[in-house]
Structure 1
Amino acid sequence: MLPPSLRVGLGLTAALAALVVVVLGVLYAGHDEPGVVDRWIIQPTADSVRPPWRNAALATDFLGEPAGAATLVVAAVTGCLLLRRPRAAVLVVVGAGMTVGTTTLLKSLVGRTIHGDDNLSYPSGHTAFLTALALVVALLATGRLGLGRTAGTSLVLAAALAAGAAMGWAQVALGAHYPTDVLGGWCTALAVVPATAWLVDRLADRLADQMPDRMADAGRRERR
């Protein structure tokens, strides 16, 4: 799931993304108001959400809600299995789960809120989820198309940017998150998914290496 040609580039991207997540988390820990950069972006974005754009924002937001997210995951897993890519199916579930789990943990640690003390906002789980799913799909496409380092990295990052921008716009426009929350969610997915893909590959390769030995042992037992 993580082609060798992409490992260095995406590894560096993941490290940089993780650094951004940590820096923003430290800067906004315990805050309950938008920062300076947030204020520059919030009002123009909110002004853009008028019919029919509000409906588009609500539809995009739904993709990050439990029902919408579950539908996307089931569709993605089904597609991976139809294409006979079980590793990709595993990565859809594990990658999305790890990404959302990381954002949930970070929200508790950072403690940034919006619209009241009960609404933890950093990083955006909606943005992280959709970006993570886009990354997995792009990694699958890169492998199937046999893309090289430049083309493959460009496709993966472009997919992540498109998904993150769409969900990020919806979250800020609907007042669910600050822009820096969105950036944190996007970077969380960029940090978690490549590492998870590498881990899935390692575990799958190890299981594949062990299968011949297990089959040989089974054959010897049958002959006895």
Structure 2
Amino acid sequence: MPGRPAPAVLPPSLRAWIGLIAALAALVVALLGFLYAGHSEPGTVDAWVHSAVYGVRSPWRHVALATDFLGEPAGAAVVVAAVVGGCLLLRSPRAAVLVVAGVGVTVGTTTLLKHLVGRTINGGYLSYPSGHTAFLTALALVGALLATGRLGLGRTAGTLLALAAALVAGATMGWAQVALGAHYPTDVLGGWCTALALVPATAWLVDRTADRMADRPDNTGRHQPH
């Protein structure tokens, strides 16, 4: 007897608004990349924010370093593994796929964009967009989408939850990156917008692929149960 279809990781109620936000975010990423391509100095806004945030002392420097570690390969691997494990314990393999795919696509794109844009900081380190900020924002956004579906939130509540989660995660990691001198503030904004642009698109692709596989006939000619 067929089971119930697996819930979508991009709730249908959010698709229109989240899609619009993703499109606007992609535009911001492209615009900032064009403006700062090949630069190695902060812009006016960068300099103003940097002067207010950079050089924090203990205990806040320790907080910044701990936050930064979450975006390093070792820290990110531990966090992603823990979240994927939680999804599997909740018997939601589609959600687990989104965690890996959403974060992987977002971080991979920031790496590619860094080489395309060529903006540098601290004597030659590629900086735009911030991969650390993109990583934590993507993870928070994935969590918000999954919570929206599991809790059955409507369009307004779900959209607000997604934006709030992304904003808190992005602001937290962004503050750490600027405070430690690893990124310009506009790098942080670019990383944040990269996650906003790519996670919804990845979630939609995960849903579409999973639904197609569920509807594909098996070896006996029968359709696979959902």
2:221 pairs with 202, 212, 217, which one?
Answer: 217
Q: CA deviation at 1:173?
A: 0.2
1:16 aligns with 2:24: yes
Counterpart secondary structure, 1:175: coil
In the TM superposition, residue 216 of structure 1 has moved relative to its aligned partner by 3.5
Pick from 38, 49, 63 the counterpart of residue 41 of structure 1: 49
- For the aligned residue pairs, the C-alpha RMSD in angstroms reads 1.2
Q: Which residue of 2 aligns with 1:116?
A: 123
For structure 2, the residue ranges without an aligned partner over 5 or more in a row are: 1-8
Shift of 1:43: 1.2
Partners of 2:219 and 2:174 lie apart in 1 by 49
1:96 to 74, 84, 103: 103
Please name the residue that 1:62 is paired with.
69
TM-aligned CA deviation for residue 41 of structure 1: 0.2
Match of 1:29?
Answer: 37
Task: State the alpha-carbon separation in 1 of the partners of residues 136 and 23 from structure 2.
Answer: 20
Partner letter of residue 112 of structure 1?
R
TM-superposed CA distance for 1:215, in Å, is 5.4
Q: What stretches of structure 1 of length at least 5 have no aligned partner?
A: 220-224
What's 1:222 paired with?
A: none
Aligned mates of 2:88, 2:146 — CA distance in 1: 12
Distance 2:222 2:133 in 1: 47
Q: Secondary structure at the match of 2:46?
A: helix
Aligned residue number for residue 148 of structure 1: 154
CA distance in 2, matches of 1:17, 1:96: 16
TM-score normalized by the length of structure 2: 0.93
Q: CA deviation at 1:217?
A: 2.8
Q: 2:211 & 2:21 partners in 1: Cα distance?
A: 24
**1:2 alignment partner AA:** L
- Partners in 1 of 2:126 and 2:64 — Cα distance? 21
1:7 corresponding residue in structure 2: 15
Same amino acid, percent of matched pairs: 77
* Within-5 A mapping of 1:119-134: 119-134=125-140
Q: Per-residue displacement from partner, 1:47-106 (whole Å, max 9, x unpaired)? A: 4x1111000000000000000000011001000001111111001111111001100010
Deviations 1:137-177 (A, max 9, x none): 11111111000000000001100000000000000000000
Corresponding residue of 1:182: 188
Q: TM-score, normalised by structure 1?
A: 0.94
CA distance in 1 between counterparts of 2:91 and 2:152 reads 16
